[in-house]
Amino acid sequence: MEELKDIIGAVVAGDIAETKDAVRQALSRGVTPTDVIEKGMVTGLDVVGERFANGETFLPEMMLSAIAAREGIAITTEGMEKGKYKPRATMVLGTVKGDLHDIGKNLIALVLRSRGFEVVDLGVDVHEEQFISAVREHKPEILGMSCLMTATMIGMKDVISALTEVGLRNTVKVIVGGCPVSQGFASQIGADYYSRDAGSTAALIERLLTEIKMVRDKRN
Ligand code: B1M
């Protein structure tokens, strides 16, 4: 479909104005919002992600593409009746207690939002009680934690223990990441997944979508 090709091209180019135009065109020609997001913007981001992994493009370009896609999604969802559009999945995200690093976390949020996921960003220095009340309030399918210092890694374990204590552990998939975090550490603290970077996190959640859909259907 020509309209989708235009969106993909604009996102790959990281051209925000062009992406917005292409999205408006596609919607006005009857392309569904879901196709605009999933077959247009997400496909464009997949191309960029692959180029990034192959060393053919760099972080600033990837961020521009993510911003372009995020703007495109904002247009796709604006004007729709509240409740009509369901985010593809929701993640509550935060940097753990004692840790003020947020550049990586913000990048994760940007990339996920640009793919039509809702991100409830709790910010930095987030304590377990804040994670718990956000899980209660927003009922996310995913809880994401970021941490940049060895001294604050333990905060991730505290959140998982707190989730278990209040009976919410099985309601969310827990993804952890950040430079001192590893697959081994994630397994040790009982997280469901470790993810290395923003692109892998998006790819991981794409894979989890089927499972997430099943959880959502069960709830409804
Ligand atoms: Co700080 N700092 N810092 N710092 N800082 C590090 C992390 C450090 C490794 C530097 C060093 O010593 N080499 C070191 C930690 C050492 C350790 O514990 N092993 C350190 C330290 C010690 C400190 C202070 C204690 C310094 C001091 O005051 N004495 C202090 C702590 C403050 C606090 O948090 N309480 C401090 C402060 C700061 C600044 C405020 C100056 C600034 C942060 C600004 C900000 O975030 N708004 C800062 C910075 C910039 C860094 C470095 C240089 C860069 C971090 C960064 O933004 N990287 C960092 C050294 C380094 O990493 N090279 C360092 C870019 C970002 C895109 O990558 O955050 O790794 P990153 O995120 C990646 C992945 O990790 C992953 O995906 C992201 C995108 O690819 N990821 C996830 C992250 N979260 C994820 C979550 C997921 C999945 C993937 O799922 C949910």
- Report pLDDT digits (tens) over 31-58: 977 788 878 988 898 899 889 889 999 9
Atom of ligand 1 nearest to the CA of 201: 88
Q: What is the pLDDT of residue 191?
A: 98
pLDDT at 94: 98
pLDDT at position 38: 75
Inter-CA distances, 34 with 15, 41, 116, 118, 173, Å: 21, 10, 9, 14, 24
For 24, the token pair is: 């408006």
Reported pTM? 0.82
Query: In the chain, where do the E strands start and end?
Result: 90-95, 118-121, 142-146, 173-177, 193-194
pLDDT along the chain (220 residues), means of 10: 94 96 94 82 87 91 90 76 67 97 86 87 98 97 97 98 98 96 98 92 88 68
Q: Determine which helix (DSSP H) or strand (DSSP E) holds 152, and give its type and residue range.
A: none
Among residues 100, 124, 121, 125, which one has the least CA distance to residue 110? 121
- Residues with C-beta less than 6 Å from any ligand 1 atom: 98-105, 107-108, 144-146, 148-151, 175-180, 195, 197-198, 201
| CA 201 to ligand 1 center in whole angstroms | 18
Strand partners, 176: 145, 194
> Which residue has the CA at smallest separation from atom 13 of ligand 1?
149
> pLDDT value at position 219?
67
C-alpha count within 13 angstroms, C-beta hemisphere, residue 110? 18
Which amino acid is present at 164?
T
Q: Which ligand 1 atom sits closest to the C-alpha of 199?
A: 80
Q: Nearest-5° angle of CA 79, CA 83, CA 85? A: 65
146 CA from centroid of ligand 1 (Å): 10
Report whether 110 contacts 66 (CB < 8 A). Answer: yes
- Could you tell which of 146, 179, 201 is best to mutate to test the pocket of ligand 1, judged by most ligand atoms within 8 Å of the CB? 179
Residue 38 in tokens: 């999933």
- Is residue 22 a contact partner of residue 6, using CB atoms and an 8 Å limit? yes
pLDDT at 215: 65
Give the Cα separation of 204 and 213 in Å (integer): 14
Question: What was the pLDDT predicted at 216?
Answer: 65
Q: How far, in Å, from the CA of 23 to the mean position of ligand 1?
A: 35
Laid out side by side, the sheet with 173-177 consists of 118-121, 90-95, 142-146, 173-177, 193-194
Rounded Cα distance between 47 and 5, Å, is 12
Ligand 1, atom 64, lies closest to the CA of 148
| Distance from the alpha carbon of residue 49 to the mean position of ligand 1, in angstroms | 22
Task: Output the residue whose Cα is nearest ligand 1's atom 39.
Answer: 101
Whole-number Å distance, alpha carbon 57 to ligand 1 midpoint, is 23
| Geometric angle at alpha carbon 111, from 41 and 5, rounded to 5° | 15
State residue 214's pLDDT score: 65
Task: State in Å: Cα 144 to ligand 1 middle.
Answer: 16
